Amino acid sequence: MCYGLSAMNKNIILAGLGIVVLLVGLTFLGGCASYNRLVDRSQEVDKQWAQVQNVYQRRADLIPNLVATVSGAANFEKSTLTEITSARASVGQLKVDRNSAPTDPAALEQFQKAQGALSSALSRLLVVVERYPDLKATANFRDLQAQLEGTENRITVERQRFNEVVQKYNVATKQVPDLFLARMFGFQAKPYFTAKEGAETPPQVQFDFGKPAGK
């Protein structure tokens, strides 16, 4: 009788241990899945951040040739060239990790502010060029302007894509069970691009110079 009870208790204990092991295993697997999901989301953000940097760099690379072409025009406003050169230099002085998206909103805001100043300087440059029909007619200038327009459009697209992947990542860090692992392993929320300082408004580039702006 005692032997039967002992065997029964043993079976109950083994069954309980089996359930505990199963639950621990499932929890572990679920935790791994959540952690991997957070890593994937974070890497998507970093990948898109690098793409944003690439298109901004493409714009910066166009500016020296654009300035050189425009500065060849007689009596061209030197203050405009100084402004755009200074704005480009300010962007170049920013200490930005090209491969890792910022987690500090202030850092992204500073980046936007510098890039927005450069966008504004480019916009003013194109307005001033309207007074120089001979310059506008040159093939080199028009080619540079076409490249600039394409780059500005690309910047807008890549910024929007960046915001989209950041949203997915931020949502993941706030959902259960990912929320707990995000806090445990330091997955911090990442800031978005905003419209402050004109960062979301690329300079207007027109090809039909015979029409007023906005037509």
- Span 149-196, pLDDT tens digits: 999 999 999 999 999 999 999 998 888 777 877 778 778 899 999 864
pLDDT, one tens digit per residue, over 128-151 is 888 888 888 888 889 999 999 999
In sequence order, which ranges of the chain are alpha helices (DSSP H)? 2-71, 78-92, 105-129, 133-137, 139-172, 178-185
Q: Say how many domains are in the chain.
A: 1
213 within some domain: no
Positions of E strands within the chain? none
Q: Which two tokens stand for residue 69?
A: 């072409």
69-79 pLDDT, tens digit each = 888 776 778 88
* Residue 210 forms part of a structural domain: no
Residue 120 lies in a domain: yes
CATH of the domain at 106: 1.20.1440.20
Q: Report the interhelical angle of 2-71 vs 105-129 (nearest 10°).
A: 30
The answer to whether residues 114 and 91 touch, using CB atoms and an 8 Å cutoff, is: yes
Query: What's the distance, CA 74 to chain centroid?
Result: 39
Q: Is residue 114 assigned to a domain? A: yes
Q: Would residue 212 count as lying in a domain? A: no
Helix (H) or strand (E) holding 182: helix 178-185
Q: Find the domain containing 120 and state its range.
A: 2-198
Instruction: Return the amino acid letter for 76.
Output: F
In a domain, 204, yes or no: no
Q: 182, 38 in Cβ contact below 8 A?
A: yes
Give a yes or no: residue 209 inside a domain.
no
